[in-house]
Amino acid sequence: MMHGAKNAGHERLKKHAQAFTNIMDDLIANLDSPDATVAPIREAGEKHVFPTRDQFGCPFRATLLDQFASAMIERTLEWGEKKDRTEITQMAWTKIVLFVCEQIKEGFHDEMKRQRRVRPRHLGHRSDYTSLSEVASHSVPRTTPEIKRFNTVDNL
């Protein structure tokens, strides 16, 4: 995250901190209906899928979110006055941070899957085939006789 021109990494880190703060604020404001905030959280995960893996100096991996969650949980345990840090509040903050990180991770994985599905597949040298059978007819010559098929969907 700190890759790039001087202070560019710092600015990117500040934007990430602000985005995470906004996500947490929205989630806490809507604790009665967390489903309302799931979409923006997942979108944050989707935004971490880049066209080129090394776009920012190193590839983003979902496992980094586990480290992030661990750091955030550790930090939340230090918030507020020591007398106010009860086991219940610490457990609540832990669950909130884990929920947010899991939603970000799911958004990341969903977008990775979506991009893999739409990524063009190069089947041979030509890219303008209209069917897979046309691809097969332009491939390496066959040395085995073609199999005759009976009662296929095409013959119905």
Structural domains of the chain ordered from first start: 8-122 (1.10.490.10)
- For 151, left (φ over 0), alpha (ψ -120 to 50), or beta? left
Instruction: Name the strand (E) or helix (H) holding 98.
Output: helix 87-118
Q: CA angle at residue 153 from 147 to 156, to 5 degrees?
A: 110
Dihedral sign (CA 78, 81, 83, 87): negative
For residue 148, what pLDDT is reported?
55
**Do residues 99 and 34 touch, judged by C-beta distance below 8 A?**
yes
Report the pLDDT value the prediction gives residue 147, as an integer from 0 to 100. Answer: 57
Would you list the DSSP string of 4-26? SSTTHHHHHHHHHHHHHHHHHHH
Which residues have a Cβ under 8 Å from the Cβ of 13 and sit 6 or more positions away? 1, 2
Q: Tell me which amino acid residue 49 is.
A: V
The pair phi, psi for residue 36, each rounded to 5°, is: -65, -25
Per-residue pLDDT of the chain (156 residues; tens, 9 = 90+): 445 566 677 787 888 889 888 888 888 888 888 777 888 889 988 888 876 655 555 577 788 889 989 988 888 878 777 777 788 888 988 998 999 999 999 999 899 898 888 876 654 444 444 445 444 445 555 555 565 555 555 544
Q: What does the block give as tokens for 67?
A: 């480290």
